[in-house]
Amino acid sequence: MYLMETFSPEVAIWIVLGLAVGLGIRIVAGILDKQRIEAEIVAKGGQIVSIRWTPFAKGWLGSKNERLYEVVWTDKAEVRHCATVKTAMLAGNYFADSVTTRRSSPDVVQSDTDLMTKNQQLQQEVDRLRRELEQLRRDRM
């Protein structure tokens, strides 16, 4: 009851407007952050897979005005990267904890299939040679 008497309708409107302006600024900052990150990766010949805001990523505790994003992209050689990116309007982008994975091209998949087939053939050959060796040992005795 006391709270209702303290706030007039004008104050409530100003609070709501202040929250809306703050939210609008954060949305615009997020759009500009994503454009800045994408521009840097594309300038190096990469292609963005995803950019996701992660406010509590590793390194969030020491950051002041930077915002943190999980970014996944592929480079010119089709190698997939995943990194935590700190960014701010005037500070630029800082890529941390970058993890790379191998190519996802059909050549690599075909190569893996060929290797698995070759591995099975070699395992069968080893088994056959072991049987022959055991047979020779038995014949000598």
Note whether 84 and 70 are within 8 A (CB).
yes
pLDDT score recorded for residue 1:
45
Q: Residues 10-23: what's their mean pLDDT?
A: 91
Which residue bears the tokens 């990116």? 85
Q: What is the pLDDT of residues 109-129, one digit of tens each?
A: 556 667 778 888 889 999 999
Confidence of residue 18 (pLDDT cuts 50, 70, 90): very high
Q: What is the pLDDT of residues 71-110, one digit of tens each?
A: 998 888 888 888 888 888 777 787 877 777 765 555 555 5
Residue 2, number of CB atoms within 10 A of its CB: 5
pLDDT digits (tens, 9 = 90+) for 56-77: 877 666 667 788 889 998 888 8
